[in-house]
Structure 1
């Protein structure tokens, strides 16, 4: 009978030993999660439970979006292990936020690469304001609103208050579409036009508004209002 304990695996196949020898990139997603789980249950190793967790949710992105209570219900998880998994995703999110300090945000692709890790695991629309200096370097990120599954609202004064307060040269709006389709809604277009017009009155630069979705063969990963000629 095959053992279900990680400790009974050959040393070179144990997640912690593999990580120590080869680094985290050498481990599968299930093996990385198993390190947080530490132990399994009767008949299942921590790796088995981790793989079952990924299979039931579909992928890491979906797992990161799942509520804590839902993860805890999975066989072999429970509240303590669910909290460890949630903490791992939160650490990744905070690391991504730290990386954008003073980063270049001159192009839609740069903005997308910086912001995707921050919005990737969100079940609801969130609207972020990125403040930029005259060299198009990131100064500060502010979360402006947290909306419903398919709508987030913002008034131009909410944007421009922060731009003036922090003496930014310009700004970028970024929000996510949890559906995965980054195409702008009519409300997205109307809000962008209002913010852009207000920015022109105050002589600050509305650089872009980026909507982040999910990449696929059928659609782009993001929509840039500037690339599509909707703001100038």
Structure 2
């Protein structure tokens, strides 16, 4: 990756800062790297790294955003997409639209993602209910819900790790 103030190092995944950068520029660079890690064709094998990428992308968003990582049958990324945008404490999520987008991407699986602008990533009862509805709706088309990750400034919570899926 090349950026005006950043060049790739000799070791994969390392970079050299070649000029002064502001905090805002560092955040932009981090977000660009995170988006690249969720790019088409990437295989998602390490949940902890996926959490890091998602946290970089969503932790500072001031309103709730519901997104999805659409995956092929080998769990390679087809697309990471914001699906719904809400207010400071909720977003309306429509299962029909999620299914429609999953089918348009020809997904075999999906990771659901949303942020909590409050910073606390603990899933709410409403989060659990919509996840169940989405799992049922997507299941009718043989699309597996691999996980639902809630992102906050205090970290990420995984429905799979919590035993909710």
The TM tier, using the shorter chain, reads 0.7 to 0.9
Aligned equivalents of 1:105, 1:204: Cα separation in 2: 17
- Following superposition, which runs of at least 4 residues in structure 1 exceed 2 angstroms of deviation? 87-96, 102-108
**Residue 149 of structure 1: which of 75, 85, 88 is its match?**
88
Q: Deviations over 1:132-158 (max 9, x none)?
A: 111211110111111111111211111
1:44-83 equivalences under 5 Å are none
Q: TM-score of the superposition, structure 2-length normalised?
A: 0.79
* Number of the residue aligned with 1:127: 66
Higher strand share: 2
Root-mean-square deviation over aligned CA pairs = 2.2
Matched residue count? 149
Q: Deviations over 1:82-112 (max 9, x none)?
A: xxx5x77556534431332132324532321
Q: Is the 8 A contact 2:73 2:108 kept in 1?
A: yes
* Number of the residue aligned with 1:24: 17
1:156-175 equivalences under 5 Å are 156-175=95-114
Give ranges in structure 2 of 5+ residues lacking alignment: 1-15
Q: Deviations over 1:135-192 (max 9, x none)?
A: 2111101111111111112111111111111111110111111111111112111110
Q: Is the 8 A contact 1:131 1:163 kept in 2?
A: yes
* Number of the residue aligned with 1:191: 130
**Residue 98 of structure 1: which of 36, 49, 68 is its match?**
36
Higher helix share: 1
Q: Is the 8 A contact 1:104 1:110 kept in 2?
A: no
Q: TM-score of the superposition, structure 1-length normalised?
A: 0.58
Larger relative contact order (Cα-Cα within 8 Å, sequence gap ≥ 6): 2
